[in-house]
Amino acid sequence: MIESQPSCTDIFESGLMPCSEALDRIMARLPKISGYERIPLQNACGRTLHEPVISHINVPPHTNSAVDGYAFYAEDIPSSNTTELNVIGQALAGKQFRGSVQKGACVRIMTGAELPPGLDVVAMQEHVGVFENHIEIDSRHKRGQNIRLAGEDLKCGETVLKPGKWLTPADIGLMASLGLTEINVNRKLKVAIASTGDELCEPGDLTSPGGIYDSNRYSLIAALTRPDIEIVNLGIIPDNAEKLLDCFNQTGRFADMILSTGGVSVGEADFTKSVLQHSGQVEFWKVAIKPGRPLAFGQIDKAAFFGLPGNPVAVLVTFYYFVLPALEQMLGINGKPVAPTLKARVSENLRKKPGRTEIQRGILSRDEKGEWRVATTGKQGSGILRSMSLANAFIVLEHEAGDVKAGEWVTVQPFAGFL
Ligand code: AMP
Ligand code: MG
């Protein structure tokens, strides 16, 4: 019986598990996938590095100039007044100066050009007097100024990137600076998505009487469109236990994760959790979160299974708070920066029941004093997807919190850098 499955008790409603515990249990169950592939460097942004990258060269390979100017010996810097240095040649990026430089002479040098051996100062051209064949320098120059040392970015032999690094544009550039053209990355995570519900129609088709268009699968496909995920679109499955069982069983043989939406409550046509129980294991199915209370989590064959709620806002909220951390752990991503939260003054009274986390959709802005302010997007029903579309932040009302008064501080999770 599903009722005997582990969940959690709570003074507010029996069987509701606090969000933090639900997330801990999810994370404890989902190991990193194994397997990797070799891909061209230019396709690797947003993938996860499989093995360490060790530098086999110095970057930069040669000591070079950081500015356009003149290179000379520090010994020629006068202790007072000025001195003249003859310009005896020039060094350009990629075109080194091949002669030798005597004391009292200098070389015109451009940014990135290799420093002729022994020279140890570069003066910016704006900081010297420029004449036809010589320059005039004063006493303010210092040994080593405007010089980039060989290996000051990456030293030959050092570990530049560790396995599990989620690759950013800077990482791709860094590996290109080492001359790499292909790298090994963790394989893509195979995520299957299904919508369940007899009322659902495919956008583009005519709706049947009482029907609605399926939006959840589209939100999820959009949220999962990223370089490290392979999406398996399972379409719409009717409210039929056998069909669900069939589909989830088949998919569990090859997918890493199954996401279904709808049919996870206690209504007459809600079969998802009984199917999960029948063909897999249920870890929990009720979480103390609004929106998103019915959220089934378990395993079917090889696949982690999330039975997300049917309501469109609840789908996205549970996706970002539970599914996203889970799939990033499975992908083997280490040390991705934590999405920042901040405190903002709320512009209106908010109703909140203690004993569950509430995620309201907010519009975050700064007032004339530069303080963060947040207002809700209006009606907060979990079927009102527009509330999510209008929002630029979640307002996170913590588990124990009660009603909030206008002007109080609340925790806000900005979407920028998060979604
Ligand atoms: P359920 O959890 O199946 O009872 O669904 C809860 C609510 O979400 C119902 O109003 C459903 O019609 C709606 N719903 C379920 N699935 C979808 C979907 N894929 N797209 C849009 N709305 C949905
Ligand atoms: Mg349904």
pLDDT digits (tens, 9 = 90+) for 281-293: 999 889 999 999 8
Q: What is the pLDDT of residue 300?
A: 96
Residue pointed to by tokens 């009274």: 349
Per-residue pLDDT tens over the stretch 344-382: 999 999 999 999 999 999 999 999 999 999 999 999 999
Q: What is the pLDDT of residue 267?
A: 84
d(CA 218, CA 295): 19
Q: Is pLDDT at 319 greater than 60 in this prediction?
A: yes
For residue 97, report the distance from its CA to the centre of ligand 1, in Å.
72
For residue 10, report the distance from its CA to the centre of ligand 2, in Å.
26
HEC letters along the chain: CHHHCCCCCCCCCCCCECHHHHHHHHHHHCCCCCCEEEEEHHHCCCCEECCCEECCCCECCCCEECCCEEEECHHHCCCCCEEEEEEEEEEECCECCCCCCCCCEEEEECCCCECCCCCCEEEEHHHCEECCCEEEEECCCCCCCCEECCCCCECCCCEEECCCCECCHHHHHHHHHCCCCEEEEECCEEEEEEEECCCEECECECCCCCCEECCHHHHHHHHHCCCCEEEEEEEEECCCHHHHHHHHHHHHCCCCEEEEECCCCCCCCCCHHHHHHHHCEEEEEEECEECCCEEEEEEECCEEEEEECCCHHHHHHHHHHHHHHHHHHHCCCCCCCCCCCEEEEECCCECCCCCCEEEEEEEEEECCCCCEEEEECCCCCCCCCHHHHHCCEEEEECCCCCCECCCCEEEEEECCCCC
Assess contact for 232 and 190: CB atoms under 8 A: yes
Mean pLDDT for the stretch of residues 23-44 = 97
d(CA 228, CA 234): 19
For residue 106, give the nearest of 88, 121, 91 by alpha carbon.
Answer: 88
For residue 108, give the nearest of 97, 98, 120, 117 by alpha carbon.
Answer: 97
Mean pLDDT for the stretch of residues 234-258 = 97
Query: Residue whose CA is closest, atom 11 of ligand 1?
Result: 310
Measured from the alpha carbon of residue 198, the closest ligand is 2
Task: State the Rg of the chain over Cα.
Answer: 30
d(CA 27, CA 30): 6
Report the DSSP beta bridge partners of residue 261. 195, 308
Q: Is pLDDT at 13 greater than 60 in this prediction?
A: no
Q: Which two tokens stand for residue 168?
A: 């950013």
Q: What is the pLDDT of residue 5?
A: 39
Measured from the alpha carbon of residue 384, the closest ligand is 1
Ligand 1 is surrounded, with C-beta below 6 A, by: 195, 197, 199-200, 212, 214-217, 261-265, 267, 270, 309-312, 383
Q: Is pLDDT at 46 greater than 90 in this prediction?
A: yes
pLDDT band at 206 (very low <50, low <70, confident <90, very high): confident
Mean pLDDT for the stretch of residues 188-200 = 97
Q: What is the pLDDT of residue 2?
A: 34
For residue 237, give the nearest of 279, 185, 199 by alpha carbon.
Answer: 199
pLDDT band at 10 (very low <50, low <70, confident <90, very high): very low
Percent of the residues in the chain that have a pLDDT greater than 90, as a whole number: 87
Q: How many CB atoms lie within 10 A of CB 25?
A: 16
Q: Which two tokens stand for residue 377?
A: 């997007």
For residue 248, report the distance from its CA to the centre of ligand 2, in Å.
16
Per-residue pLDDT tens over the stretch 121-174: 999 999 999 999 999 999 999 999 999 999 999 999 999 999 999 999 999 999
Give residues whose Cβ lies within 5 Å of ion ligand 2: 197, 262-263, 310
Q: What is the pLDDT of residue 15?
A: 66
Query: Residue whose CA is closest, atom 15 of ligand 1?
Result: 310
For residue 235, report the distance from its CA to the centre of ligand 2, in Å.
14
* Lowest mean pLDDT, pick from 37-41, 58-62, 292-296: 292-296
Phi then psi dihedrals of residue 286, to 5 deg: -140, 125
For residue 246, report the distance from its CA to the centre of ligand 2, in Å.
18
Query: Which of 196, 220, 221, 261 has most ligand 1 atoms within 8 Å of CB, for mutation?
Result: 261
Q: What is the pLDDT of residue 43?
A: 98
Mean pLDDT for the stretch of residues 247-261 = 97
d(CA 293, CA 366): 32
For residue 395, report the distance from its CA to the centre of ligand 1, in Å.
23
Query: Which of 216, 286, 382 has most ligand 1 atoms within 8 Å of CB, for mutation?
Result: 216
Pairing of strands 294-300, 303-308: antiparallel
Phi then psi dihedrals of residue 325, to 5 deg: -60, -35
Q: Is the dihedral of CA 387, 392, 394, 395 positive or negative?
A: negative
Enumerate residues 6+ apart whose C-beta is below 8 A from 293.
16, 286, 287, 309, 314, 356
**End-to-end Cα separation, the chain, in angstroms:** 37
Query: Residue whose CA is closest, atom 14 of ligand 1?
Result: 310
d(CA 144, CA 298): 61
Per-residue burial over 344-361, b if 16 or more Cβ lie within 10 Å, else e, is bbbbeebebeebbbbbbb
pTM score above 0.75: yes
Distance of CA 208 to CAs 65, 268, 285, Å? 71, 20, 31
Q: What is the pLDDT of residue 3?
A: 36
Q: What is the pLDDT of residue 366?
A: 96
